[in-house]
Structure 1
Amino acid sequence: MRGKLCILLMAYLLPIAGWTSPANLVDAEWHEIETPHFRIVTNGRPESVKGLAEDLERFRVVASQLLSASEVQHKLTIFALADRNSYAAFVGDENAKRTGGVFHNTSYGSFALVNLGSDRSMREHPAREFLFHEYTHFLTYGRSPLHYPYWYSEGFAEVFSTVDFPKDGNYVFGAIPMDRAASLYYDQPMPLEELLRATPTTADGRQNSRVYAGGWMLTHWLIMSSGKADRIQGYVSAYNRGEDPVDALVSALEMPFEELERHYIGQAKGKFSKRTGLMPRGYKPVQPIVQPLSREAAVAEIARYLVMSGKNADSLRELVQYARAERADSHELMSIIAVAKTRAGEFSRAESLLESIPLGAHSEQWYQSAEAFLWLERQLVKGVHSDPERLEAVRDRFAALIEANDEVPAYWRGLAVAMQKLGYPRGEYLKILEQAYLRAPREVGIAWWYANELYLDRDAEIFARVAHPLLMQITEEQPRTQLQAMLADLLPDIAAPEVDAEEKKTIDGAFAKYKGYSANKALALALDYKGAYVFGYAYDSPDQDTANSKALEVCEARRITLNVESLCRIYAEGDKIIDAVGSSDRL
C-alpha cells in the first residue's frame, strides 16, 4: 500500500515541475465554448469542457435559487487551462502552487481561471469543484460591495462547490469537497479564534488549506445544522462596519464562544448532512456551442487577460515575443499591447502601435477601446492644462463604447472623468460614476472617488454603504485616516481617529473650520477623480455675492497650484450646502 501511495504522489507532483513556455500556449489547440451565461476559453479537451459548461448552466440555476443571486449577472469569461503549467502562465508560479482556481472582478470585466489538471478525485469532469467554487465567488462578489471574512468567503464557496446532479431534474449539495476531506483526515482543525481572524495576507500556504477546511466546517454547520442561517447576514454587515470578527459572530448568533467552538470542533468528527432539490419545472439542458480558436485569436485572448488583470507581466512579454516570431500576432494583439503601453505611460509607443493597424479595423471595439484609454490618459497627465476639445472626443468615444457594451466599468469611469474635467454639473457625472461603481464596487479607484463625492452630499447612510467596505480594502494610513474621519463626522457613534494637526487637513477638518466663521460666508470646493481636493473660504463679506466671488477666486488659485483637476464650485453659502446632489442640507 505504501508503494502505491508513493507512485500516486509522484504522479501528482511531477506536473508541478517546470513552467509553460509561450510555445506551448501559442501552439496548443484552443477552443471557445459558449452558453447563454458563460464563455469558456480552453486548451483542454473540448468535449470534457463542454460537459463542464452544461453543468455550469445547471449550477447557475441552482445557485440562483439557493443564494438569491441577481438574475442580471453578466456573462462570465472562464479560462479552463489544460494543466498546471498553462495555469501558471496566467496566474504566476506561486499562485499555481497554492490554488486550483481564481476569480478576478476587474474594472474591465470578471474572469475565472481553473486548472483542469488539478483535480485529484478522478471524477467525470476534472476540476468541476473548482469551477463551481469560483462561480459562487462571482455570484456573491460580482456586483456586491460587501466583504466577507476570509473563512466564510472560502467556506461558503466550498459548500456549494460539490453541487451534483445525480439524475435529470434533481440536485444535491452539502457533500464534503475532496481536498477538505483530506485536510480533516490528516490535520487538526484550525483553532476557532485563529480561523475567524485569518485574512488572505496573514495565512501562509499550509494555513490557507486549514482556513478552507475550517471555513467549510463552520459554514456547513451554520447553513445545514445550526438553525441560525438567517443570522449570517447580520454578522457580515457587522464585519463590514469594522466590528471585531470574533465578537461580531458571537453576537449575531447569540451564542457563547465556547458553545460555538464545541459545535465547530464536533464537525471534524461528525457526518455531514446533504440536501436535495428539484430543478425548476421545464428546465432544459443547455447545448454549448464549441468553436476552434485560431492561434491569433487565442494569443489575443491570453494577452487581453494578462493586460486587463494586471497579472504576470513576464508571461505577457514572452507570449508577445514568441507570437511575433511565429507570425501568430494580429492587429487585435497590437491594440492590447497599446493598452499595456498606455498604462505604463509610454504614450508615443502606444500611438505608433495603433497607427500600425489598418483603417479598416478602426471600427472594431477593441481598437476604439484602446484608443479611448490612450486619449484619456494623455489628457490626464496634463492635469489642469488638459485640452477641452480632446476631452470632448474622449467623452464621445466612451459614450459610444458604453452604447456598444454597457457592462464594462472602465468605460463608465472614463466617461465620468471626462465629464467632470469638462465642468459638467455634479449630478450628471455622478450618475455615470454610480454606474461604474455598481459594476465594480471593489475597484478601489472607482470606490474612493465615489465615496468622496457621496460624503459631500452629507447623506450618512449612503456614504457609509460605500465607505465601510472600502475601508476594509485600503491599507495605506493616510487615506484610511481620512475615510475614518469622514465616517466619524457623519456617524456620531463612530470614534474619530486621533491625528496631529498636519493630518487634520482633510475634508471634514475643512468643514469644521468653515463652521466657525461668521455670517456672509461661502465655501468653494474642487474635488477630482483622484480624490484630490482644495477649498476656498470667504467670510465677514459685505454680502453673499461678494463672499461667493472671493471663495471661488481663492479656490481657483489653489486649484491651479495644487493641480486639482476639477473646476471650483460654490459648495456652501452660509451653513447651507447648495451643491449636494438631490437635496440641500446643512454642514
Structure 2
Amino acid sequence: MVRKILVLLLLVMLPGVAHAQWHEASTDHFVIYSKDRPERLQKFAETLERFDLAMRGLRGWKNDPVAPAARLTIFVLGSTDAVGELAGDSMVAGFYSGRASGSVAFVPRVSGTDTFDLNAQTILFHEYTHHLMMSEFANAAFPAWLVEGWAEFHATAQIQHDGSVTFGYAPNYRAWGLLSGNPLPLERILGGNLGKMTDQQTDSLYGRSWLLTHYFTFEPSRSGQLGKYIRAINAGKPASEAMTEFGDLRVLNRELDRYLKKPSLSGRTVPASAIKLGPIRIRPLTEGEAATMPVRIRSDRGVDEKTAPRVYAAAKKAAAPYPNDPAAQGVLAETAYDAQDYEGALAAAERALAVDPASMQALIYKALTQMAIAEKNKDYKRETWSAIRKTLVAANKVDPDNPEVLILYYRSFVDAGQAAPAVARDGLYRAYELVPQDRGLRFQVAAMFLDDGKPEVARALLVPMLQDPHSGELAAQAAKVIAEIDAGDTKAAQKDVATGAGSAQNPPPKAGTAPDK
C-alpha cells in the first residue's frame, strides 16, 4: 500500500504527467491540440511559428494572412506507437493530409531516442514543408526527389537559443540511405524514373534527395542549374531530358560523394530580429471537447464503411453527457453523417446550432446531410436545394473563406442538375486558391474548366500531379486526362477527370497525402 502511494506521489511530481488536460493553441498558421501543460504547448506553438516565418524569410516568400480555415491543424499524440496505430502502419512516425475540409497533421509528443532517430519536431517540419511548398507553388510541377529533398532540407532546421533559425544540418536519421552505396542511381532520381522501389531504395531516395538539395543550394559552381531544371520540366520537358542541365551525371555523382565526406557543411541562419511572431492564444478545451477529442482524432484521420459505425458508436457515448456543448455535438454530427445515420446527424447539428448558431462544423454537416438525404430520395426540386443553400449561405457569412463551404455551394448546383452561376464557380476556384494541397479539389476545378471549354487551364492544373510522390493513383489518372486533352478528346477527358473529382465530391474516407516514412 505504501509503495502504491509513493508511486502515485512520484507521478504527481513528474512534470506533464499528472492532471494533463487537453488544450488548444491558435496561431496565425496553426491550430494545435495537445494533452499537455499550457506552457509546453505555448513553447511548441512558438517553435512552429518561428519555423514557418524563418522558412519564408529564407526563401523570400511573403507572409500573407492565412484564412482561419486554411491553417494546418495539428494533433499531438502520446507516442510514435499511437501515431502508427492511427495510420495503420507501425513504420509511420507522423503523417499529414492536405484537404479542403481542413489540412491535418498527426505527430507524436515524444519520439526518437538518439541522434540517428527521427524526432517529433523533424517529422512535423518535414510534413509542414510539404504543406507550405504546395501553397507557394500551387501550379508548378516538381519531381519526387525535389519534393522530398526540400522537406528533408528544412526538416533539420534548428531553433537557436537566441530565437534565430539555422537551416542546412544533415539528417543523421538518413545515414543509411546516404552511406549505403547508392542503390538508386542518379539517372533514376533526377530523371523521374523511380518506378517500384525496395525499402533500401526508398531510404536512399530520401537521403540522396536531401544531399542534392543541399548541394544545389550551397555549391557556387552549380548555381542556377536547379532553377533551369525546374523551368524545363514546367515548360513540358520530361525530367529525363531536363536533367541534362546538370551536365555529366558521373561527374555530379563524384562531386556529391566528396561533398558528403566534408568535415562540415554550409548552413544559413535567419536571425531572430527577422522573425516577428504573431499572437498565440492558448485555451483549455471544454469538458465536451475533451471528452470527444479521441473520437475527433479518429474521425479526422479518416473512416470508411467498416470503421465509420465504430467511430460513431464511440462518439455517441462520449457526447451523450454534453447535449449543450456545440463542439461535442458537432463531432457527433460528423460521425453520424459518416456512418450514414442522417437523422442522427441532423439532430446533433441542430443541437449544436441551438447553442451556437455560428458553429461551422454543425452548419457544414447540416448541409452535407441535407444534400445526402435529397440525393438518397432523388429529390432534385429547386425548393429543396434552395433550402440547402440557405444553410451554406449562413455558413459563408460566418467565414467567407471556408473552402469546404465554397465547394459545397458549387456542388449544390451541380448535384441538383442545375447550371452553377458565376458566383459558385468563382467560389470553387477560390477554394482551390485557399487549399491547393487538396488533390481531389484540383481535379474538380479542372473538370469545371473543361466544362467551360478551357482545356489548357485544366491541363495546367493537373500537370503538377504527374510526379508528385503523394498523389498515388491520382497521378496516373491525371496523366490519362492530360493525354486525352493533348489528343483533343475533350469528351474522354471530361469523363475521366470526374473520377479524380469524385475524391473531392464524395469525401467519406477524408483521406489525403500518403504518410511519409
TM over 0.5: yes
Rounded Cα–Cα distance in structure 2 between residues aligned with 1:145 and 1:300: 38
Rounded Cα–Cα distance in structure 1 between residues aligned with 2:251 and 2:105: 38
Q: Identify if the C-alpha distance between structure 1 residues 299 and 466 changes in structure 2 by more than 3 Å, giving closer, same or farther.
A: farther
What percentage of residue pairs aligned between the two structures are identical? 22
SS in structure 1 opposite 2:142?
A: coil
1:56 counterpart residue number:
48
Rounded Cα–Cα distance in structure 2 between residues aligned with 1:480 and 1:453: 18
Rounded Cα–Cα distance in structure 2 between residues aligned with 1:299 and 1:88: 22
1:578 counterpart residue number:
none
Counterpart of 1:180 (choices 125, 149, 174) is: 174
TM-superposed deviation, 1:187: 6.5
Rounded Cα–Cα distance in structure 1 between residues aligned with 2:111 and 2:442: 35
Rounded Cα–Cα distance in structure 2 between residues aligned with 1:64 and 1:274: 19
Give matches, 1:221-260, under 5 Å.
221-225=215-219, 227-228=221-222, 230-236=224-230, 238-239=232-233, 243-248=237-242, 250-251=243-244, 253-260=245-252
SS in structure 1 opposite 2:158?
A: coil
Q: Identify if the C-alpha distance between structure 1 residues 408 and 299 changes in structure 2 by more than 3 Å, giving closer, same or farther.
A: farther
Q: Give the letter aligned to residue 263 of structure 1.
A: E
Q: Please, which moves more after superposition, 235-244 or 142-151? A: 235-244
Give matches, 1:371-390, under 5 Å.
371-381=366-376, 385-390=379-384
SS in structure 2 opposite 1:77?
A: strand
Q: CA RMSD in A?
A: 4.0
TM-superposed deviation, 1:157: 1.2
**Which has the higher Rg, Structure 1 or Structure 2?**
1
Q: Give the letter aligned to residue 445 of structure 2.
A: Y
Rounded Cα–Cα distance in structure 2 between residues aligned with 1:429 and 1:86: 41
Rounded Cα–Cα distance in structure 2 between residues aligned with 1:326 and 1:300: 6
1:570 counterpart residue number:
none
Rounded Cα–Cα distance in structure 1 between residues aligned with 2:459 and 2:170: 37
2:108 is equivalent to residue 115 of structure 1 = yes
Rounded Cα–Cα distance in structure 2 between residues aligned with 1:69 and 1:159: 17
Rounded Cα–Cα distance in structure 1 between residues aligned with 2:200 and 2:40: 31
Stretches of structure 2 lacking an aligned partner (at least 5 in a row): 1-18, 503-517
SS in structure 2 opposite 1:98?
A: coil
Q: Identify if the C-alpha distance between structure 1 residues 530 and 98 changes in structure 2 by more than 3 Å, giving closer, same or farther.
A: closer
Alignment check: 8 A CA contact 1:163 1:172 kept: yes
Alignment check: 8 A CA contact 1:31 1:42 kept: yes
2:331 counterpart residue number:
336
Give matches, 1:373-452, under 5 Å.
373-381=368-376, 385-420=379-414, 421=416, 423-424=418-419, 427-452=422-447
2:98 counterpart residue number:
105
SS in structure 1 opposite 2:268?
A: strand
Q: Identify if the C-alpha distance between structure 1 residues 260 and 101 changes in structure 2 by more than 3 Å, giving closer, same or farther.
A: same
Rounded Cα–Cα distance in structure 2 between residues aligned with 1:195 and 1:329: 55
1:37 counterpart residue number:
29
Q: Identify if the C-alpha distance between structure 1 residues 151 and 301 changes in structure 2 by more than 3 Å, giving closer, same or farther.
A: farther
Rounded Cα–Cα distance in structure 2 between residues aligned with 1:267 and 1:357: 59
> Please, what TM-score do these two structures have when normalized by structure 1?
0.68
Alignment coverage as a number of residue pairs = 469
> Please, what TM-score do these two structures have when normalized by structure 2?
0.76
1:164 counterpart residue number:
158
2:271 counterpart residue number:
279
Alignment check: 8 A CA contact 2:22 2:33 kept: yes
Q: Identify if the C-alpha distance between structure 1 residues 28 and 239 changes in structure 2 by more than 3 Å, giving closer, same or farther.
A: farther
Counterpart of 1:506 (choices 492, 499, 507) is: 492
2:484 counterpart residue number:
485
Alignment check: 8 A CA contact 1:117 1:127 kept: yes
Rounded Cα–Cα distance in structure 2 between residues aligned with 1:204 and 1:70: 39
Rounded Cα–Cα distance in structure 2 between residues aligned with 1:58 and 1:482: 40
Rounded Cα–Cα distance in structure 1 between residues aligned with 2:278 and 2:103: 22
Rounded Cα–Cα distance in structure 1 between residues aligned with 2:129 and 2:268: 18
Alignment check: 8 A CA contact 1:416 1:429 kept: yes
Rounded Cα–Cα distance in structure 1 between residues aligned with 2:140 and 2:346: 39
2:367 is equivalent to residue 367 of structure 1 = no
Q: Identify if the C-alpha distance between structure 1 residues 202 and 411 changes in structure 2 by more than 3 Å, giving closer, same or farther.
A: farther
Rounded Cα–Cα distance in structure 1 between residues aligned with 2:500 and 2:80: 39
Give matches, 1:529-544, under 5 Å.
none
Of structures 1 and 2, the one with the larger relative CO (CA 8 A, separation 6+) is 2
TM-superposed deviation, 1:382: 5.6
Stretches of structure 1 lacking an aligned partner (at least 5 in a row): 1-26, 490-495, 497-503, 510-526, 533-587
1:568 counterpart residue number:
none
TM-superposed deviation, 1:66: 1.8
2:138 is equivalent to residue 152 of structure 1 = no
Alignment check: 8 A CA contact 1:170 1:276 kept: no
1:585 counterpart residue number:
none
Q: Give the letter aligned to residue 403 of structure 1.
A: K
Q: Identify if the C-alpha distance between structure 1 residues 171 and 333 changes in structure 2 by more than 3 Å, giving closer, same or farther.
A: closer
TM-superposed deviation, 1:260: 2.7
